[in-house]
Amino acid sequence: MSYTTRTNHEIEYKIYGEELQFVEIELDPNETAIAESGAMMMMEDGIQMQTIFGDGSTQQSTGLLGKLMSAGKRVLTGESLFMTAFTNVGQGKRKVSFAAPYTGKIIPMDLQQLGGTIIAQKDAFLCAAKGVSVGIHFQRKLGTGIFGGEGFIMEKIEGDGMAFMHAGGYVIEKLLVPGEILKIDTGCVVAYTPGIDFDIEFVRGIRNWMFGGEGLFFAKLRGPGRVWIQSLPISRLAGRIVEYGTWHRKEQGSILGGLGNLLDGRE
């Protein structure tokens, strides 16, 4: 691990839980963590909470117009206009915890070790050390923006501190060497380093895209770089909940109804 001086606040952390996780961040006096509005789970006495425009990083302009533009960029990524800063105003170490919004994994990312920049799906950001910038990244390829599963606008996380992402299901990190290609379901891409070439590929074969259930396109990622992949996108989870929530089950008061559920696979 590099011990190069950081410009962002240097924080310590611990992640708890398995499927529904939370991250506990330990702050020294005058250290600050930033988080999405509503992400805070608990904090110790001595932590001061302050709602701010944008991300509070030193990269954004200090004037009112600069702050409004920074906050407006966050709206484009689907986030709130505001973020919350948690500062330790006490004498000793204090802890503040942030909870995952749904079942999945919290991904700790040391931006100093990852080249200073991460491109992530919208809504992936959970919290970070103060100084980390949460901005926007535009997909330059027309096909990737339309069919890549993330739209034209993604989140760009910059800095040299710790940042924490959240994604659904299990999350795996892949290291791609130069020229190595990985094809992924378009909804399963969580984040990647800027060296990754993100493109799309049409699913070949009429039967494959009509009956294969994988859609019309793959996300095609070419190295070098790192990519983080989730096993359960929130859109897929929401779709299954709606599907089962609106299905009229047949088992009520009937043996034959229960048998029908077994036959159609919904038991």
* Extents of the domains making up the chain: 12-169
Domain spanning 12-169: CATH 3.60.160.10: yes
Whole-angstrom Cα distance, residue 66 to residue 47?
27
C-alpha angle with apex 121: 119 to 127, nearest 5 degrees?
A: 80
- In this prediction, residue 99 carries a pLDDT of 96
Strand positions, DSSP E, the chain:
12-16, 22-27, 32-36, 40-43, 47-53, 82-88, 94-99, 104-110, 117-120, 125-129, 133-138, 153-158, 162-168, 171-176, 181-185, 189-192, 197-202, 217-222, 225-230
- How many residues can be counted in the chain? 267
- In this prediction, residue 74 carries a pLDDT of 54
Three-class secondary structure of residue 240 per DSSP: helix
Q: How many contiguous H segments (helices) and E segments (strands) does the chain have?
A: 5, 19
Whole-angstrom Cα distance, residue 14 to residue 129?
14
- In this prediction, residue 71 carries a pLDDT of 54
Task: Tell me the residue type at 172.
Answer: I
* pLDDT string in tens for the chain (267-residue length): 445 678 889 899 999 998 899 999 999 999 999 998 889 999 999 999 998 876 667 555 455 555 555 555 555 555 566 789 999 999 999 999 999 999 999 999 999 999 999 999 888 999 999 999 888 877 655 444 454 444 447 889 999 999 999 999 999 999 999 999 999 988 899 999 999 998 878 765 555 455 444 556 788 899 999 999 999 888 777 777 777 766 555 444 444 445 445 444 444
Residue 168 bridge partners (DSSP): 104
DSSP string, 42-57: EE-TTEEEEEEETT--
| Single pTM value for the model | 0.78
- Residue (of 16, 17, 54) closest to 34 by Cα position: 54
